[in-house]
Amino acid sequence: MSITVRAAAKINLHLGVGRARDDGFHPLDTVYQAIGIHDDLTLTQADRLSLTTRVADHIDPAAVPDGADNIVLRAARALAAHHGVTASGAFEVRKDIPVAGGMAGGSADAAAALVACDRLWDLHTSDDDLLALAAGLGSDVPFSLVGGTARGLGRGELVTPVDDGGAWWWVAVPSTAGLSTPDVYRHFDALRPDAPEVPASAEPVLAALASREPVRLARALHNDLQEPAVDLRPELGDLIDLGEAEGALRGMVSGSGPTVVFLCDSAEGARETAGALAGAGHGVVLTATGPVAGAHVLA
Ligand code: C5P
């Protein structure tokens, strides 16, 4: 018996970051959106726990963390421990979400693993318990379960769905080399020693989403990690300028980067911007719409 679960990449439409808390995490006020770039995870019954990964052409297989501390296996063990059962099964993950790209690819896999194990092992875990286990695995994992568009508070793990009737068009340009999330947060600390305790409010983005007007959302997009990410990788700033010159309404670093996403006014606008960026030598250019569902069973 086996089960396949799909989980989506996320972008942050708003990422307000405050001064680091005593536990080292930064307080966030963020708006996540799940967009149509996916990893699919298949779990097949087996005596032992194992993991194989297959990656899309645009992903370097060596960049995918393997071994016992892969987040998929950690998710399986955490759920098993919660129920006092033994973790078992063969995982196969097919990755299309850029690795270490600021799009929560690892978090998506963890969320998919929780859903797959819960089903295959017939555990019927409550939503609250699944969300708590997800938060223990990483700040973005609860959102990867919930999907759609949602506000995240705390360190990002306290997620409330946002009513989003828009159909937003995005172009995403991954980088060949990832960027470490802790490094970007550390650089934020260095550049912003005066960061406020309370992060910048997500209200302007929430109002723009409600308007369903791409031009308004483009104006409201906000990412406090963009400055440190671009300072570490100046070429990201050039990429943002290029995409905006090629017709995108607005370009922005996704989360802690280095993936850059562009909001476009329509499907046609997204195709044109993507074509221009590919023509300018950016080998991998993805288009996607959002919002899409969180981790869900395919078959
Ligand atoms: O929660 P997660 O494991 O995804 O976080 C990875 C790292 O990112 C943390 O160890 C921390 O350095 C940084 N982080 C942070 N503040 C947050 C979320 C993540 O400083 N709100």
Catalytic residue among 39, 96, 140, 164: 140
Task: Answer yes or no: is pLDDT of 149 > 80.
Answer: yes
185 lines ligand 1 (CB under 6 A): yes
Arch. (CATH architecture) of 168-290: 2-Layer Sandwich (3.30)
Q: Where are the domains of the chain?
A: 2-163, 168-290
If one counts every other C-beta atom within 10 angstroms of the C-beta of residue 83, the result is 15
Q: Is 265 a catalytic residue?
A: no
Question: What is the percent of the chain where pLDDT is above 70?
Answer: 100
Confidence of residue 283 (pLDDT cuts 50, 70, 90): confident
Catalytic residue among 10, 40, 118, 224: 10
41 lines ligand 1 (CB under 6 A): no
74 lines ligand 1 (CB under 6 A): no
144: Cβ–Cβ under 8 A, 6 or more apart, which residues? 7, 8, 10, 34, 104, 107, 108, 110, 111, 112, 134, 294, 295
Tokens for 73, please give them: 């296996």
Q: Give residue 182 CA to ligand 1 midpoint distance, Å.
A: 6
Residue nearest to atom 4 of ligand 1 (CA): 138
Residue 113: per-residue pLDDT: 98
Distance linking the first and last C-alpha atoms of the chain: 11
Phi/psi for 218 (5° steps) reads -55, -40
Question: DSSP secondary-structure letter at 63?
Answer: G
Which pTM was predicted?
Answer: 0.97
275: Cβ–Cβ under 8 A, 6 or more apart, which residues? none
Average pLDDT value for residue range 110-122? 98
* Exposure string over 24-38, b if 16+ CB within 10 A, otherwise e: eebbbbbbbbbbbbb
**Which residue of 10, 25, 141 sits with most ligand 1 atoms within 8 Å of its CB, as the best mutation to test the pocket?**
25
pLDDT tens for 153-174 read 999 999 999 999 999 999 999 9
The enclosing H or E element of 238 equals helix 235-245
Would you report the helix, strand and coil content of the chain in percent, each value rounded to 5?
A: 35, 25, 35
138 lines ligand 1 (CB under 6 A): yes
Residue 177: per-residue pLDDT: 87
Residue 63: per-residue pLDDT: 87
Confidence of residue 106 (pLDDT cuts 50, 70, 90): very high
Provide the residue count of the chain: 299
CATH topology match: 2-163 vs 168-290: no
pLDDT tens for 238-282 read 999 999 999 999 999 999 999 999 999 999 999 999 999 999 999
Q: At what angle do helices 127-137 and 71-83 cross, to 10 degrees?
A: 140
pLDDT tens for 16-50 read 999 999 999 999 999 999 999 999 999 999 999 99
The tally of CA atoms less than 13 A away on the side-chain side of residue 38 is 19
Arch. (CATH architecture) of 2-163: 2-Layer Sandwich (3.30)
56 lines ligand 1 (CB under 6 A): no
